[in-house]
Amino acid sequence: MATRYAGKTNAPDFPPGAEWLNTPRPLSIREFAGKLLVLDFWTYCCINCMHTIPVLGRLERDHPEELAVVGVHSAKFDEERSTENIRQAIMRYGVRHPVVNDAGMDLWRAYAVHAWPTVMFVDPEGKVIGKIEGELTYERGTSLIAAMLTEFRAAGVLKPSSAAAWVPEEPRASVLSYPGKVLADIEGERLFIADSGHHRVLVTDLAGTIQTVIGTGEAGLADGMLEGAQFNRPQGMARFGEALYVADTGNHAIRVIDLEAATVETIAGTGTPGERHVEGGAALEVDLRSPWDLALAGRRLHIAMAGSHQIWTLDLDGRVVQATVGTGAESIVDGPPEEALLAQPSGIAVDEEGVLYFVDAETSSVRSADLTTAHHVSTLVGTGLFDFGDVDGDGASARLQHPLGIDLQDGVVYVADTYNSKIKRLSTGTRAVETVAGSGERALRDGALATAAFYEPGGLSIAGDRIYVADTNNHALRLIDLAQGQVTTLDVDF
C-alpha cells in the first residue's frame, strides 16, 4: 500500500560521542521504531525556536504513545555550543524531551538543514519523510500529525508504546528563577524584578528584601488582585507613578500593575501569539508576538517586540497599539523607521529627547530610533546576523554577543552583553565601547569590577553610580557600585 508519507531515505543516526540532556544515556534512531519521530533543530537564542518548543510539548502530550520528539541543538552563537549553557536554556524554557548537543553541526549537515527552527519528520521505519522550516503552529502540527498517524496505522507500521521515562533537567530551588529584567525606583527606594522562571514580579527594597509578590507563581493569564494574578515568563518593565507596566512575554501581552489598588490588568494583546503581519489596531484585539521590553515616553509605551523584529508603540490613553519601527523582516538595515530592518529587539530605553535606544539580539547590535525629529534608525554597534564577538573599542570594530539588556544615563548607553557575560557601556557621541564589569567567565563571583563574574545577564537598570543587574542564569540580582568599583550579590528574600 503506497502512502503519502512513505519515506525513502534512512534517517542519519545521532553521532557517537555527542552529549545528551534530559536522558540518562545516548539515544539512537532505531530506538524510536514504530513511532513518528520529530527532530526539532533549534538554537536557544532564536525567538522562533522559543515559540516552537511549547507547541511540540503540547503535541507530545496529545500523542504520548505514538509520537516522540528529540531536540537537536545546533548553535548559532559560540556561547550556545556549551552543553552546560544548553542545560540552562532547556530548564529556562521548560523543555522536557531529550536534547542532543549538535555542537559540530554534524546532524545539521546530515539532514541538510538551512534554518532555525526546522522540524524534521522520521517515519516509524526510520525514513525521513519531510520537514517544516520556520515555526510550527499547534493547529498545523495537529492536522499534519493526525494525517501521518492515520496512514501509518493503516499501513501497519505504527506500533504505539508507553512514553519513555526521560529524566528532565530541573533547576535548583532558589528564591529567584532565571530573572530576566530589573527596574530600579530610587525615589521610592524599591526594585522591581521580573522573576521570569517563577512567572511573577517581585517588589523589594534596595537591599533585596521582598515587600510584595505579584502573581501566583504558576504560568497563566489571569487579571485581578495581585496574589491571584498570573503571568507567563514576564520580562521588561516600565513605571509611571504607581503604575507598573510589564511585558508578559510568554502570554504575548502587556499588563499593568496598579500598585496602589493592588490589581493586575491586561491592556494589550489577546494571549495568542501573532502569526501574520499586522500593523496594529485596538490594543486588546491585536495578537502580539513575544514583547520583551518596555520604555515609557509620556503616555506612549514603546515595546521591543522580539517575536516580530519590530518596535511597537501603545497609546495608553487611546488604547491603540501599532508597529512604529521595522518592517517585520529580520536583518540590520538603517533608514526611515517604517523601512528599517531589526532582528529580535530584546531591550529598549528612551532618552530625555524621546530618542529610543535598543539592542537587537540576533545582530548583536545597539541601535537608535529617532521618531520625532530625524525620523531615522541608526546603528551604533553591530554589522550583521552572523557578526559577533567580545571586542571593546570604537563602534566600527566593537563586537557584542547577543545582548538583551539596555539602559541610559547622561549620554552613555549601558548594555547587558548577555552571551559574553559582561556589562558594557558606549558613548552615544564617540560610539566607543568598553567593559564596565565582568571577566567573561560564566560564574557567580563578587569583587572588583574586572574580576567579578556573571552568567548570561539579561537586564540592567541604572541608578546614579549603581547598576542593578538581573543575572539570569545565576538566579541572582547583582549590584555594580561604580563609585566603589565593586560587584556584590543582593540577598533577595523575605
Alpha-helical segments (H) within 11-137: 47-62, 83-93, 106-110
**How many residues make up the chain in this entry?**
494
Residue 34: all three cell numbers together: 514504530
Give pLDDT tens digits for 452-481.
999 999 999 999 999 999 999 999 999 999
Where the chain has pLDDT below 70, the residues are 1-3, 5-6
pLDDT at 486: 98
- Tell me how far CA of residue 314 lies from CA of 254, 327, 340, in angstroms: 9, 17, 19
- Alpha helix (H) residue ranges in 280-391: none
| pLDDT of 165 | 82
Q: Are strands 200-205 and 412-417 parallel, antiparallel or unpaired?
A: unpaired
Peptide bond preceding 117 in cis form (omega within 30 of 0): yes
| CA 433 – CA 79 distance, rounded (Å) | 20
Angle at CA 47, nearest 5°, toward 106 and 139?
95
Residue 30, burial from CB neighbour count under 10 angstroms (0-12, 13-18, 19+)? exposed
Q: What is the DSSP letter of 193?
A: E
Three-class HEC string of 212-271: EEECCCCCCCECEEHHHCECCCCCCEEEECCEEEEEEHHHCEEEEEECCCCEEEEEECCC
SS3 assignment, position 254: strand
Place of cell 521570569: 196
Residues 6+ apart with CB under 8 A from 352: none
pLDDT score recorded for residue 3: 59
Q: What is the mean pLDDT of the chain?
A: 96
